[in-house]
Structure 1
Amino acid sequence: MQAIARLIDKVKSRDDDDVVDRANYVYSALMFGMFALITMAKQYVGEPLQCWVPPEFKGSWEKYSESYCFVENTYYIKMAEQLPKGPRQQYELQYYQWVGFMMMGQMIFFVLPKAVWNSLHLKTGLAIQSLISTSKLTMKKGQDAMIKDNIEKDMVKASQYMKNLHRFNKDKIDSQSSKPINAKFWNGYITKLYILFKILNLSNSVIQLYVLNQFLGPKYTFFGYGLLMDLLQGKEWEESGHFPRVTYCDVMVRLPGDVKTTYTLQCVLAINMFNEKIYIFIWFWLFLLSVINFLNLCNWLFLVLSEDNAVKFIRTQLAYKNVNLTVEKTKEFMGSYLYLDAVTTLRLVQLNCGDFVSSDLINYLYQDYKPKEEKDSQPEALEEKRPPLITP
């Protein structure tokens, strides 16, 4: 449990992502953690299963039988049907003991993509969270009308991060210039990691939905929807067989004289009343989250693969500061000073801090770029052009 707590602490809500990412590693993880605690408390603190035992079962025998049935599975047969005389394994309910552990596992799988993103992008030495936290501090100070010098110090610190990001990309690309494939890999390394993060989020939600559908509802193509329709149409568990409240359990007892007798006990699984409602909610949550993850991934792919979109973003941000650049001038600025990673990071700043802060930061970067631009315009001071924002 301590290891799980440390993992969650490492991936708690940060500012280096968007709200859809946080819906995965924060909201979904918290939801599954809460459901896991509820079900495990009911199972291991309360009485998840109670059985109607024969009169000769006294005291400890009753407790033993209930514990045995909980561990060894119960099975469900409709009340109107005869109990089969042969093996009854095909009727067994094999999930209810593991619901809490399954939910705990689902919680861990929701935070793993974030752990991968944090681990890989922090190895570059460039902490996007620090940049956005500094930018948020700038925004807060601006709202509180604090001293201008302090605001400028924070903005300079944020712009310095962007310069370090620029230097990181340049050094990596220059060092791999003789290897075109490696150069392309490092041009947009952090952006590719972020897209991988989103692919992992989508894969996780889709796989969990598929496993849930197969594990709990092979009778329905869409388990949660089918179960909800059953409830709305008045089709109770007695008819559908999903999350039955009354089940059976066979307990074999060895009597004196080595006589073996099997008792069939009728048991109440009260916890299935909670499991039914919880899993309907979980199914719809995973379905909706998968759709949102897919749309969010498509949106980010469009943003990072479209140079025209990047140009429009930079021009719009600079226009807030009354800096109006042509499309060509903007492309020169991006091709000579901003790499793909810089534009991606600036988008995250804009999403987390708003246009006021992101436009300020981009304007700082442009003002730092302008002298170089003027120097480059002189024939004797021509400088080698850096790789374009989007590589083929």
Structure 2
Amino acid sequence: MDGLFRGLSKLIKITPVTNDDIVFRLHRQLTVLILFAFSIIVTARQYIGDPIDCLPKSEISSDLLDTYCWIHTTFSIESAWNKTIGTEVPYPGIDNSRGSDRVHHYYYQWVCFFLFIQALLFYLPRFLWKSFENHRLSSIVMDLHSPILSHDERSRQIKIFINYFIAHLGYNGIFTFQYYFCQILCFANVVGQWNEPE
């Protein structure tokens, strides 16, 4: 099971130069990590257990019947939701299926795929920002994050940084627009994926 989640550790990297804010990092790291982990858990049938168990009444093998039940979805009986549990029905929504008031439930077949797609959509703003930024801030900061830098060398590099900043003031409008575009994309992503239960 440890091998399944080892690849997810690459999503959380601590870098000496941070080129985004905490909300962006939570969006691209924590949310993506959780969604990928849940997608793996849902699809890891051999570690978690059978996703569905059908009760065979004949000589059909249980693996074959489970696969059939998985492919053909499950359903509940609308009129069985309000019956007395234990006397009329064994469980809410479960009853004799001769009636025509079946409600089919297809969601469980697609959960792992939707979790994976959601994780990709949450990672998309980070992917765009990495391509826009292209290590620009790391090269500007140079070695200022190095703990063994002498005080004189640090002062010299800070002066170079200040001179660069003053010389290029007003030239980074597109860069700023790209950052805000990725932030808006993060917000639109959260709002777009927010579903109210019916």
Provide the TM-score with structure 2 as the length reference.
Answer: 0.72
Greater Cα radius of gyration, structure 1 or 2: 1
- Where in structure 1 are there 5+ consecutive unaligned residues? 170-186, 219-392
Determine the C-alpha separation between the residues in 2 that align with 1:163 and 1:91: 66
Change (3 A) 1:62 1:18: same
CA contact (8 A) 1:13 1:22 kept: no
Give 2:136's match in structure 1, choosing from 118, 127, 150.
Answer: 127
Residue matched to 2:28: 25
**Which letter does structure 1 place at the counterpart of 2:118?**
Q
Q: Which moved more, 1:128-137 or 1:90-99?
A: 128-137
Residue matched to 1:95: 107
Determine the C-alpha separation between the residues in 1 that align with 2:162 and 2:11: 26
Provide the secondary structure at the position in 2 that maps to 1:17.
Answer: coil
Determine the C-alpha separation between the residues in 1 that align with 2:65 and 2:22: 49
1:288-299 pair list within 5 angstroms: none
**Which letter does structure 2 place at the counterpart of 1:152?**
S
CA contact (8 A) 1:13 1:26 kept: no
1:1-392 pair list within 5 angstroms: 15-42=18-45, 46-54=49-57, 56-58=58-60, 61-77=61-77, 78=80, 79=89, 82-85=95-98, 91-122=103-134, 127-132=136-141, 134-137=143-146, 140-141=147-148, 147-156=150-159, 158-159=161-162, 161-162=164-165, 165-166=168-169, 169=171, 188-210=173-195, 213=196, 217-218=197-198
- Cα deviations across residues 241-287 of structure 1 (Å, max 9, x unaligned)? xxxxxxxxxxxxxxxxxxxxxxxxxxxxxxxxxxxxxxxxxxxxxxx
Percent identity of equivalent pairs: 24
- Cα deviations across residues 122-162 of structure 1 (Å, max 9, x unaligned)? 3xxx712443574433xx44xxxx52233235435544653
Determine the C-alpha separation between the residues in 2 that align with 1:150 and 1:49: 65
What is the aligned residue count?
A: 176
* 1:71 shift after superposition: 1.8
Pairwise CA RMSD of aligned residues? 3.3
Provide the secondary structure at the position in 2 that maps to 1:198.
Answer: helix
Determine the C-alpha separation between the residues in 1 that align with 2:74 and 2:47: 17
CA contact (8 A) 1:11 1:25 kept: no
CA contact (8 A) 1:76 1:91 kept: yes
Provide the TM-score with structure 1 as the length reference.
Answer: 0.39
* 1:67 shift after superposition: 0.9
